[in-house]
Amino acid sequence: MRTSPNQSSFTIQLRVISALMIREVRLRNKKHAFSQLFDLMEAVVFIVAHFIIFKFLGRHLLIGDSLLLFITTGIFPILFFRTISIRAASAMESAKSVTVIPLVEALDFAISRALVEFISYGLIFIAFFAMISVLELSRYAIPFNVVAIVQFTILILLFSFGLGLVNSYLIYMFPLWKFIWGGISRTQIFMSGVFFIPEYMPPVIKNILSYNPLLHFVALFRTGFYSTYPTHMLSMNYILQWTFGVLIIGLSAERMLRNQRALHA
């Protein structure tokens, strides 16, 4: 990659990340065109499958006019979180293939992978919510509170990316952590208010669940769609503390991981 002397380091890094994003998309679709789209459709199938199961079980609608929309607004934040954090962590593990290129660091590779996943998931779910609206399956499918959606999008991206960096360091130090974290992340779908509204739970259960940051992220996302969604448990301060706390720890862990790999190179 050619660079002129007067280019700022920020501009150079943007070019590096953009090039890595293009490379990532090409590699994912190398064998079959639109293979990445089929991977993303798995998330949609996952949501529809849960909708069918709960519909078959006669699950009562807790809010709004569509069980499909309620489940989607709960599952989407968890899938988004899991995917971004896993992609960031795996990028740090497999960065050797790109760090031999001048100006490219493992962190750049992790950022590019996270952004590709972010854009891909964003587009597929915008289309999914639009489909729900066009088919008139729910009148709440188009967000009424855009500010809440923007807040959620920025914060969940930073939170997931930061946690991915933390996990990459833990996996490097303790390889068994990869499997432990896989089990922990899967339980989040049951502990984050995806299939229920936390405010309707007994006080003891509410108190325990309130310590889970993802429960607050799900609530924030849903407030963008439901004007009457209960927000007594939602704490923006708690979300901000977790997001920037994890991000700072993750960036520090990435620096330590880079130094350790340099020593063992």
Taking alpha carbons only, the member of 253, 84, 86 closest to residue 169 is 253
State the Cα angle at 249 between 248 and 250, rounded to 5°. 90
Please state the domain extents for the chain: 10-264
Q: What is the pLDDT at residue 264?
A: 60
Mean per-residue pLDDT over the chain, rounded: 86
How confident is residue 38, by pLDDT bands cut at 50, 70 and 90?
Answer: low
pTM, two decimals, is: 0.88
pLDDT mean over 12-24:
87
Q: What is the pLDDT at residue 164?
A: 93
- Strand boundaries in 21-110, DSSP class E: none
What b/e string do you get for 20-34 counting C-beta neighbours within 10 Å, with b at 16 or more?
A: bbebbeeebeeeeee
What is the CB-side half-sphere exposure of residue 137 using CA atoms within 13 A? 16
The total of other beta-carbon atoms located within 10 Å of residue 112's CB is 24
How confident is residue 123, by pLDDT bands cut at 50, 70 and 90?
Answer: confident
Amino acid identity of residue 82, one-letter, is R
Q: Residue 83 CA to chain centroid, in angstroms?
A: 5
> Helix (H, G, I), strand (E, B), or coil: what is residue 142?
coil
Write down the residue that tokens 């994890």 correspond to.
246
Task: Please write the tens of the pLDDT for every residue from 172-188.
Answer: 888 898 888 888 888 88
Q: Measuring CA to CA, how many Å separate 220 from each of 45, 194, 213?
A: 24, 12, 11
Task: Please write the tens of the pLDDT for every residue from 86-122.
Answer: 888 888 777 776 767 777 788 888 899 899 989 888 8
How confident is residue 155, by pLDDT bands cut at 50, 70 and 90?
Answer: very high
